[in-house]
Amino acid sequence: MHLHILGICGTFMGGLALIARAAGHKVTGCDAGVYPPMSTQLTEQGISLIEGFGAEQLALKPDLFVIGNVVSRGNPLMEAILNSGARYISGPQWLGDSILPQAHVLAVAGTHGKTTTSSMLAWILEQAGLKPNFLIGGVAPDLKVSARYQPDVRPFVIEADEYDTAFFDKRSKFVHYRPRTAILNNLEYDHADIFPDLAAIETQFHHLVRTIPSEGCIVLPTRSEALERVLARGNWSRTVRFGAGGTWQAGPADEEGAFTVLRDGHDVGTVRWTLGGEHNRMNALAALAAAEDIGVPAADGVAALSRFAGVKRRMEVRGTVNGVTVYDDFAHHPTAIATTVAGLRRQVGAARILAVLEPRSNTMKLGTMAARLPQALAGADLVFCFGAHEGKHALGWNPGEVLAPLGARASSYDDLDALVRAVSQAARPGDHILVMSNGGFGGVHGKLLDALARPH
């Protein structure tokens, strides 16, 4: 079958394309902005890419057009598909219908930590010899790729996103995956562009719960009012809880980040790694619980996590120049920002943290949670925000007013070069520059490292 994928360079759709190719399909695709690294992965697998969404692509006459959620009405190719009567389907539904029915799907859902927890879980299963298939929204150095598919392998780890499926399917993506094991890691309000409130997201999570078989398993934290409300609507599956008072608990971390894992109060081993933060310990417990559900003993899971190297764009060190270290992190929700800053603070002690933030997600641009930013960034010594109330990088809120509680510690910039100059001039040996964005941020990491290398 020939599949033509619209929006192929996104992490999810690109991974889906690699899976489709591995399943034996002919795959082509298009996107606005065909660029590495995803374009390189795709072309290496013999997938032809087309720049843009021109209606002339209808002449390719694929058996099926697979639509990503970046595509909306008015897209020239989509309009041509609709007018011609050609067959089309969303990416998540194609995956759910064509790839996942025979799999033991292990889905990782939640507002935060999906990529990291999915990577941990896939790594544990890999180390246990299960060689899982997976589709993850990031790249763990241990796994080397974001997607893998072998038709004869049953375990399939998938990052289960609550964002809507496509312009013609407003259900969350994860309702198409039908997991047997589901991690519900946490639940907060997010995606203000499509959800009016937290209750609307809870409804989508309950739609997911309704698809989990009675012989399946739900893994969730002990302290989440929102998730408890989700299960109160109806739950037909076994539940395993992690965190304080749960089946799976973590002891305090030592200075190097190592911590003891307790299962039903029994010590099952110590995870010895360099990842910091309470959030990563909770992610680890969720992954261990899900792995046990598919047959991996707790001690083996702990040993595997001790060999886990983390995930790109999660507190990833991009370089150190003249005693100043630059980090890259995907944090973009106030809770994730606060957690990331706190994690770095525990790591560097009294050293200065210069937080560089790009409020890029639709939720943050709208300003729905902007008022929470001062508190989220309070642990940083200096804050540099990219975006302004007016101009080229306009936000739906005034960063000067929102960040005013931070006083002279905070400043905002509408010009990337000006921001780079300001950060590099403020930095001094021993500082830690924490860059937070869910996008490429104009290559700011490299620009900062170059600027730091030049004498002021």
Q: Provide the token pair at 273.
A: 């790694």
Does 113 count as an annotated binding residue? yes
Residue 123 CA to its chain's centroid (Å): 16
308 vs 346, higher pLDDT:
308
Q: Model confidence over 128-176: pLDDT tens digits?
A: 999 999 999 766 666 777 899 999 999 999 999 998 999 999 999 999 9
Domains in the chain: ranges and CATH: 2-90 (3.40.50.720), 100-306 (3.40.1190.10), 316-453 (3.90.190.20)
Confidence of residue 11 (pLDDT cuts 50, 70, 90): confident
Q: Model confidence over 398-412: pLDDT tens digits?
A: 777 888 888 888 888
Does 110 count as an annotated binding residue? yes
Residue 141: what pLDDT?
Answer: 63
Nearest to 377 by CA among 396, 359, 398: 359
Percent of the chain whose predicted confidence (pLDDT) is above 90? 56
Does 111 count as an annotated binding residue? yes
Is 90 exceeded by the pLDDT of residue 393?
no
Confidence of residue 303 (pLDDT cuts 50, 70, 90): very high
Secondary structure in 3-state letters for the chain: CEEEEECCCCHHHHHHHHHHHHCCCEEEEEECCCCCCHHHHHHHCCCEEEECCCHHHHHHCCCEEEECCCCCCCCHHHHHHHHHCCCEEEHHHHHHHHCCCCCEEEEEECCCCHHHHHHHHHHHHHHCCCCCEEECCCCCCCCCCCEECCCCCCEEEEECCCCEEECCEEEEHHHHCCCCEEEECCCCCCCCCCCCCHHHHHHHHHHHHCCCCCCCEEEEECCCHHHHHHHHCCCCCEEEEECCCCCEEECCCCCCCCEEEEECCEEEEEECCCCCCHHHHHHHHHHHHHHHHCCCCHHHHHHHHCCCCCCCCCCEEEEEECCEEEEEECCCCHHHHHHHHHHHHHHHCCCCEEEEECCCCHHHHHCCCHHHHHHHCCCCCEEEEECECCCCCECCCCHHHHCHHHHHHEEEECCHHHHHHHHHHHCCCCCEEEEECCCCHHHHHHHHHHHHHCCC
Does 246 count as an annotated binding residue? no
Residue 45: what pLDDT?
Answer: 85
Confidence of residue 280 (pLDDT cuts 50, 70, 90): confident
Residue 390: what pLDDT?
Answer: 57
Q: Model confidence over 186-205: pLDDT tens digits?
A: 998 776 677 888 999 999 99
Is 80 exceeded by the pLDDT of residue 372?
yes
Does 363 count as an annotated binding residue? no
Give the position of tokens 């902007």: 370
> Rounded CA gap, 368 and 238, in Å?
35
Please state the pTM of the whole predicted model.
0.76
Does 393 count as an annotated binding residue? no
Residues 6+ apart with CB under 8 A from 126: 132, 142, 143, 304
The region of weakest confidence among 9-23, 282-296, 397-411 is: 397-411
Residue 338: what pLDDT?
Answer: 85
Mean pLDDT of 435-449: 81
Q: Model confidence over 76-127: pLDDT tens digits?
A: 999 999 999 999 999 999 999 999 999 999 999 998 888 889 999 999 999 9
Residue 345: what pLDDT?
Answer: 85
Does 247 count as an annotated binding residue? no
